Amino acid sequence: MFNSVFHRYSPYVAGLTVLLLMAISMPVLAEGEKIQWGMSIEEATKQAAETGKPIMMDFYTDS
C-alpha cells in the first residue's frame, strides 16, 4: 500500500523538494559581491583602469 502511494505522489514530492531548495539557495546566492556606486567619473575611470572592469553610467533628468 505504501509503495503505490509513494509512486503516485513522488513527482510532486520531487518538484516541491526542488522548489524548496531553490527558495533556500536564492538569498544565499544573492548575497554575493555588492556593487559600490561612485559619484565621480574621474574616480570611476581610475578604478576601472586599475581593476580592468567596465564602467556603467546612469543618466536621468526630471524634465
pLDDT tens, residue by residue, 10-48:
777 778 888 888 888 777 666 666 777 777 889 889 999
CA 7 to chain CA mean position, Å: 35
Query: CA 4 to CA 13: how far, in whole Å?
Result: 14
pTM: 0.39
Task: Count Cβ atoms below 10 Å from residue 38 Cβ, excluding itself.
Answer: 14
Residue type, 38: G
| 51 sits in which H/E element | helix 41-51
Position 50 confidence tier, pLDDT thresholds 50, 70, 90:
very high
pLDDT of residue 9: 63
Dist CA 63 CA 60 (whole Å): 9
